Copies of this chain bind each other. A is one copy, B any other.
Amino acid sequence: MSDSASIRHDFVQFWGSLGSYWGIPPATARVYAWLISQPQACNADAIVEGLEMSRGAVSMAARELRDWGLVHVERSPGSRQVVYRPETDLELAIRNIVEMRKRREWDPLLARLRGWIGELDGQRSAEAEVFRERLRSIEALVGMADAMAESFLKGGLVQKLGLKVLVASAQRRRGKKEGKR
């Protein structure tokens, strides 16, 4: 027990359940977890067997993962079969996810907020004024989040920021570990 097969199973299960927090269908998240847990790229059959899901579901999940840049679909030279290779550079993967979410969520939200604020600027009622000020404070915050995301996408953030923060957390963690030994 607790061999790598059972750990893989737990990992796949847990990762799948996490997916729902992030708006990723569980089956899709499970496929990604499975691929990460395998040393080499897998073909569709291996996934069908390993995860006990239908061929169609595997194909759907793989397509979605490809859209997110989380797996690469590869075709061996003299074969009709495709194999799925997970993106293991997680920073790259996260960059893809952040970019997609920014485009889908923040950008339209910011655009609409600014539009609404502009319209409310033309109104004199006290009601409109309160509403406008609240929208403004949302805009400021979303704008900041957006700017942070953009900065992350340009590649600087993890290095610039992450480092300082990481040092602190690594120290904290090292402290714990050494206490145990």
Binding site for B on A (CB under 8 A): 2-4, 7-8, 10-11, 14, 18, 20-21, 23, 36-39, 88, 90-91, 94, 101, 104-105, 109, 112, 116, 119-120, 123, 125-128, 130-131, 134-135, 137-138, 141, 143-144, 146-148, 150-151, 158, 161-162, 165-166, 168-169, 173
For A1, the closest partner residue in chain B by CB is B119
Nearest CB of B to A48, in Å: 20
Contacts of A138 in B (CB 8 A): 36, 90
Of B37, B161, B166, the contact of A161 (CB 8 Å cutoff)? B161
Evaluate whether A39 and B126 lie within 8 angstroms (CB atoms) in the complex, with A144-B158, A144-B165, A148-B162 already known: yes
- Whether B162 and A127, one on each chain, are in contact in the complex, defined by CB atoms closer than 8 angstroms, is no
- Whether A94 and B141, one on each chain, are in contact in the complex, defined by CB atoms closer than 8 angstroms, is yes
Q: How far is the CA of A147 from the CA of B161 in the complex (A)?
A: 11
- Whether B144 and A169, one on each chain, are in contact in the complex, defined by CB atoms closer than 8 angstroms, is yes
- Whether A21 and B105, one on each chain, are in contact in the complex, defined by CB atoms closer than 8 angstroms, is yes
Of B3, B10, B90, B131, the contact of A7 (CB 8 Å cutoff)? B131
Contacts of A135 in B (CB 8 A): 11
- Whether B141 and A169, one on each chain, are in contact in the complex, defined by CB atoms closer than 8 angstroms, is no
Contacts of A146 in B (CB 8 A): 169
- Whether A127 and B4, one on each chain, are in contact in the complex, defined by CB atoms closer than 8 angstroms, is yes
- Whether A112 and B14, one on each chain, are in contact in the complex, defined by CB atoms closer than 8 angstroms, is yes
- Whether A123 and B169, one on each chain, are in contact in the complex, defined by CB atoms closer than 8 angstroms, is no
Contacts of A91 in B (CB 8 A): 141
- Whether B134 and A88, one on each chain, are in contact in the complex, defined by CB atoms closer than 8 angstroms, is yes
